[in-house]
């Protein structure tokens, strides 16, 4: 029997691309996209769409019952940079939405949950290089705090109530299809847009700030792969480390210059630099590669080639 899937936060950066991917796998009739507004008309007009408030248990439950949903992907969240401006709102959205979905699973309204965590769970005391799966986690942002606490609750609901919840710690995500949504790694998307439009970019992080990054295609692949895996292979029910590549703004600029030699980059670090300083430089994701055979496909130069090719078509 085919899964009936609800994607909450389907109009966001990851949610929108995940929606199209899941529809291609399971069929348009089996994937319901939802968000709090009609902000992404491509999603709204491409299949089943419902207005759902992730913070409202009744709103989510009504949608689940209407469409006989058995699997929820909870992609709604307030990200790191935006969350620092609105800390209480970030806490409320990120935590209330998670409890709503976990409780629906606990009470057997749904069978399976995907919830994304982030490298933001780590902090200044975490080992920076090849950050291990199990390590010190003292996040310094509200976003990171919600993700760390959320991981503990996911494991708790699995242990206490046998909720089939699965999670990965996303690094920075790069996509040409959707604009970023208020994260600290947003420069790695903006830089390609500006390279095509203006041949220059002013970066809000320092040139040597190395962070873990991933092309959207790899992030979507990881999300689909972990949810397709047999339950007994998922050994970690908090959240899996996930990695693809790590690079600095300067390394992105050099990669762009291979194709656009006249490209120039400038640096004007702002409050997001402090957030980036608290995050790892690279990630050890050996458990994901071992347990459900995760394998990334895109290197930095692969990412640059695809981003510039697609954005050149968009702008020119």
Which residues are the active-site residues? Answer: 143
For 215, list phi and psi in degrees, rounded to 5: -75, 145
Which residues are CB-neighbours of 45 under 8 A, at least 6 positions away? none
Of 32, 36, 106, nearest in space to 72 by CA: 32
Burial class, 52, CB count within 10 angstroms (exposed 0-12 / middle 13-18 / buried 19+): buried
3-state secondary structure 49-106: EEECCCCCHHHHHHHHHHHCCCEEEECCCCCHHHHHHCHHHHHHHHHHHHHHHHHHHH
Query: Distances from the Cα of 133 to the Cαs of 42, 130, 170, in angstroms?
Result: 37, 9, 13
User: Do the Cβ atoms of 97 and 153 come closer than 8 Å?
Assistant: no
The two three-digit tokens of residue 84, written as one number? 């620092």
CA-based max dimension of the chain: 59
- Count other Cβ atoms within 10 Å, centred on residue 26: 15
Q: How is residue 207 annotated by DSSP?
A: T
């Amino acid at each position: 029997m085919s899964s009936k899937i609800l994607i909450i936060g389907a109009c966001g950066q990851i949610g929108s691309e995940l929606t199209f991917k899941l529809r291609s796998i399971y069929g348009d009739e089996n994937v319901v996209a939802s968000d709090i507004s009609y902000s992404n008309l491509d999603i709204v007009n491409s299949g089943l769409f419902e207005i759902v408030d992730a913070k409202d248990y009744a709103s989510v439950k009504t949608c689940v019952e209407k469409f006989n949903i058995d699997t929820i992907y909870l992609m709604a969240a307030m990200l790191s940079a935006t969350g620092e401006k609105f800390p209480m709102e970030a806490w409320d959205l990120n935590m209330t939405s998670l409890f709503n979905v976990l409780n629906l699973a606990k009470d057997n309204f749904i069978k399976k949950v995907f919830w994304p965590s982030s490298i933001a769970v780590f902090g200044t005391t975490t080992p920076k290089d090849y950050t291990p799966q199990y390590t010190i986690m003292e996040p310094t942002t509200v976003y990171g705090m919600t993700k760390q606490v959320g991981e503990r609750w996911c494991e708790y609901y699995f242990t206490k109530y046998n909720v089939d919840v699965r999670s990965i710690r996303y690094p920075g995500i790069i996509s040409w299809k959707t604009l970023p949504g208020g994260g600290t790694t947003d420069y790695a998307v903006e830089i390609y847009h500006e390279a095509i439009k203006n041949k220059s970019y002013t970066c809000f992080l320092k040139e040597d700030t190395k962070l873990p990054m991933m092309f959207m295609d790899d992030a979507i692949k990881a999300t689909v792969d972990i949810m397709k895996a047999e339950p007994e292979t998922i050994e970690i029910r908090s959240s899996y480390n996930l990695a693809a590549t790590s690079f600095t703004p300067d390394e992105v600029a050099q990669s762009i210059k291979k194709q656009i030699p006249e490209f120039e980059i400038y640096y004007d670090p702002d409050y997001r630099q402090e957030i980036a300083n608290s995050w790892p430089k690279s990630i050890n994701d050996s458990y994901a590669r071992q347990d459900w055979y995760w394998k990334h496909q895109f290197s930095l130069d692969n990412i640059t080639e695809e981003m510039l090719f697609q954005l050149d078509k968009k702008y020119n």
